[in-house]
Structure 1
Amino acid sequence: MTRLQGKTIVITGASSGLGYEIAKLAAQEGAKLVLLARRLDRLQLLKQKIEQDFAQKDVLVYSLDVSKRTNVEEVFAEIFTRCGSIDVLINNAGFGVFDYAHEAKWEETEAMFQVNVLGLIACTQAVMSHMQARRSGHIINIASQAGKMATPKSSVYAATKHAVLGYTNSLRMELARDHVHVTAVNPGPIATDFFATADPSGAYVANVGKWMLQPEKVARAIIQAIGTNKREINLPKWMNAGSVFYTLFPRVVERLGRKAFFKK
């Protein structure tokens, strides 16, 4: 028996990347999984893999577009009907597009806020009152180091992640009274297909590829934090140290790091 045995864990954006790795590790720990993403075909493949590799029979999959509030409400209502309760919500769905601020397309700007911010809030609101009533639960929001320190060509993406951190920090204080844990995850760049959309040119990956985190490492840190009152997960540590230094000495960091920051 493990800490997660029998716990119902809902993961958005589970069809690939970090969400995919979190799902596999949670299954290994005996959790009951509810996997959400727009691409149902990929979720079905992940469900099959988990059932084969871990003899896990409690995997539910739903197609969900978190940017559509009515879709969120319908899917979560179905989850509660099927599962009765949700122990952990991992808000992982999100995407980014790297452009200079003056070149950012409005439709992409709007879509990033709809998915990264409003979608996360909608999913959180769908489970929050249930967790408060039970006086237990854990909400884990995937933010970013970009939410702590913005750099060129990420103005909109960074703005969405700043919003996620602001929402998460307020939520943590509110829900502490109800014994519901809230954790922010702030990773640096992760080696996933995120950058196929964020930077189709491949320039960013070419420049920072050797420093990218492996999704398995981030997923393992998240799994270890479930059920604890961990405030934040910051990876890699050296990058988070840079974010802390930036908070204290922003002009110095902007001046010294200008050349590196423009390598996106």
Structure 2
Amino acid sequence: MPGRKTVLVTGATGGIGKALALQLLAAGHRVIAAGRSETELGQLAAAGAETIQADFRHSRDTDRLLASLPVLDAVVFGAGIGFFQYAETQAEEEMRDTFEVNVLSVMTMTGHLLKTNPGIHLIYIASLAGKVATPKASVYAASKHALLGYASAVRMETEGRAVVTVVNTGPVDTGFLDLADTTGRYRQSAGRFLLKPETVARKIVSVLEQPVREVNLPRLSGAGAKLHQLLPRLSERFGRRFFDKK
């Protein structure tokens, strides 16, 4: 089909990644889906995706994935992990896993793919937490701050030979929340403000067709993040009840 793209989607076995993989397949694109769950990968394979099992907490899985890829038109870095804890109670293993999945594996893949895929579209699923850090998300927010900084530098480094898009979302109704907060408090308090993964996926599909620099969802939260960056002290003072949701 005209305009058919070959797209790698990481974190494709749940949440935004799975919704995106299915929407890309429905649009006629070639999808390489990478994720942890054998069951979910089987479902994606049945829908027409090429699948690779990978756990991005382990660098060997990242390396194995890179060694098996075809030439790509785009990659969507959708794998992500987080644990909502106060700084003094965060386990070291959780810190390492968070940065391995959210940052280091992405850096490794980016460097490799830029060498082997001229003109590639790099789409980083970050988070509004990368702009507004909140209580009990210090490590997660730090990983997303790192990702945003990395993507900004890569955009400048690759001008004219790659396309870089960052997608920042507020809380999304996915299994990520169940792992990040086993108490269920955050899911309950976020309630009607939770984005649907299908909504985010649709936006990413449109970005593949018409690239943009950055997407912030929902838009109102994106505007709030800009205000926070301009007036952080006032934002923390008057927005505290919204930040203490975890």
Q: Equivalent residue for 1:240? A: 222
Distance change (3 Å), C-alpha of 1:92 and 1:158:
same
Task: Give how far 1:101 is off.
Answer: 1.0
Q: Equivalent residue for 1:69? A: 59
Alpha-carbon separation, structure 1, partners of 2:181 and 2:56: 22
Q: Equivalent residue for 1:215? A: 197
Q: Could you say what secondary structure the match of 2:69 adopts?
A: helix
| 1:86 and 2:68 matched | no
Q: Can you list the C-alpha shifts for 1:127-159, whole angstroms capped at 9, x where unaligned? A: 11112xx3x110101100000000111000000
Q: Equivalent residue for 1:148? A: 131
| 1:137 and 2:120 matched | yes
- State which of 82, 100, 108 in structure 2 corresponds to 1:114: 100
Note if contact 1:2-1:30 (Cα within 8 Å) is conserved in structure 2. no
Q: Could you say what secondary structure the match of 2:158 adopts?
A: helix
Q: Equivalent residue for 1:163? A: 146
Note if contact 2:127-2:170 (Cα within 8 Å) is conserved in structure 1. yes
Q: Which ranges in structure 2 are unaligned for 5 or more consecutive residues?
A: none
Q: Equivalent residue for 1:193? A: 175
TM-score (norm 1): 0.90
- Letter of the structure 1 residue corresponding to residue 184 of structure 2: G
Q: Could you say what secondary structure the match of 2:153 adopts?
A: helix
- Letter of the structure 2 residue corresponding to residue 77 of structure 1: A
Alpha-carbon separation, structure 2, partners of 1:16 and 1:221: 17
Note if contact 2:165-2:212 (Cα within 8 Å) is conserved in structure 1. yes
Task: Give how far 1:29 is off.
Answer: 1.2
Q: Name the % identity.
A: 38
Task: Give how far 1:227 is off.
Answer: 4.6
Alpha-carbon separation, structure 2, partners of 1:210 and 1:239: 14
- Root-mean-square deviation (CA, aligned residues, Å) is 1.3
Note if contact 2:74-2:121 (Cα within 8 Å) is conserved in structure 1. yes
Q: Can you list the C-alpha shifts for 1:176-226, whole angstroms capped at 9, x where unaligned? A: 131x10111100000111111111101111111111111111000001001
Aligned length: 246
| 1:26 and 2:24 matched | yes
- Letter of the structure 2 residue corresponding to residue 147 of structure 1: G
Note if contact 1:12-1:91 (Cα within 8 Å) is conserved in structure 2. yes
- Letter of the structure 2 residue corresponding to residue 239 of structure 1: S
Q: Could you say what secondary structure the match of 2:216 adopts?
A: strand
Q: Can you list the C-alpha shifts for 1:70-107, whole angstroms capped at 9, x where unaligned? A: 32222222123xxxx11111111011110111111111
Alpha-carbon separation, structure 2, partners of 1:256 and 1:45: 46
Displacement over 4 Å in runs of 4+: none
Task: Give how far 1:2 is off.
Answer: 5.6
Alpha-carbon separation, structure 2, partners of 1:228 and 1:171: 19
Note if contact 1:185-1:232 (Cα within 8 Å) is conserved in structure 2. yes
Alpha-carbon separation, structure 2, partners of 1:206 and 1:122: 36
Task: Give how far 1:113 is off.
Answer: 0.6
Note if contact 2:10-2:17 (Cα within 8 Å) is conserved in structure 1. yes
Task: Give how far 1:259 is off.
Answer: 2.1
Q: Could you say what secondary structure the match of 2:57 adopts?
A: coil
TM-score (norm 2): 0.96
